[in-house]
Amino acid sequence: MFGPQGTDFMALSKQRHTVRKYSQKPVEQEKVKKILEAGRWAPTAVNAQPQRILVLNTPEELQKVKDFCTFGWKKKYVDLAEESDTVDHKHIVIYYGAPLVLMVCYDKKACWKHPESGTESGQTDAVIVATHIMLEAVSLGLGTAWISYFDEQKARKSLHLPDDWQPVCMLYIGYPADDYQPNQKLSIRRKPLTETCFFDKVG
């Protein structure tokens, strides 16, 4: 028998939805440790483990996140992310009140590079690590949001990221707010397998 038995991964996959409204209850330290540990066991190319994860959960650090996730008001994103804390039509703030934010980066000097093409594996490695973390968080009863829409240059500056670290994504983590609902436009629909999987030949 290989691996732990009885973990209902399908149920976990289907239960997870992006949470865009968080309660202010802090994430317990024990759970923070567990989700980081799940990331530690993720596979990476040649096991180089180039991920570098910044854990942000103080009011000062979270204010920085809010600052580099604030953009000019864009109707498209306001409509898509109905929950974004946008009231004044001047800014869209993609922060959602998350009490814990992980900035997931990789170290360009530490990751595997394809010997012929030179392509770095760090982005892929970091995405797999982040996915492990996200699903462990969900299994612990936490809500998560994967965030790509942030100002990288502002983030680099305010978090003092080393030049060799490439930010890949952020994970917002916390308990969903009492009135949280999965976003009706973004969360529910999945394409049928016939549109995304091809047996033997394309088309």
Q: Taking CB under 6 A as the rule, does residue 18 contact ligand FMN? A: yes
Interface segment toward ligand FMN; rule CB under 6 A; list 2-10, 14-22, 28-36, 151-159: 14-22
Least distance CB 118 / ligand FMN (angstroms):
24
Single out the residue of 36, 110, 140, 186 in contact with ligand FMN (rule: CB under 6 A): 186
Residue 102: CB minimum distance to ligand FMN, A? 14
Among 17, 21, 52, 64, binds ligand FMN (CB under 6 A): 17
SS (H, E, C) 122-164: HHHHHHHHHHHHHHHHHHCCCEEEEECCCCHHHHHHHHCCCCC
Contact residue for ligand FMN among 20, 21, 132, 156 (CB under 6 A): 20
Pattern of binders to ligand FMN over 147-176, x per CB under 6 A? xxx---------------------------
Among 152, 160, 171, 184, which Cα is nearest to 96's? 171
Burial 40-74 (b: 16+ CB within 10 A, else e): eebebbeebbbbbbbebbeeeebebbbebbbbeee
Q: Which residue, 32 or 94, has its beta carbon nearer to ligand FMN?
A: 94
Closest CA to 142 of 37, 34, 58: 34
What's the rounded Cα separation, in Å, for the pair 197 and 203?
Answer: 10
Of 63-102, which residues contact ligand FMN (CB under 6 A)?
Answer: 81, 94
158 and 56 in contact (C-beta within 8 Å)?
A: no
Residue with Cβ nearer ligand FMN (27 or 145): 145
> Nearest to residue 164, comparing CAs of 109, 122, 105?
109
CA 180/CA 97 separation, integer angstroms: 12
Q: How far is the CB of 200 from ligand FMN (least distance, A)?
A: 28
Residues lying near ligand FMN in the complex (CB under 6 A) are found at: 17-18, 20, 81, 94, 145-149, 182, 186-187
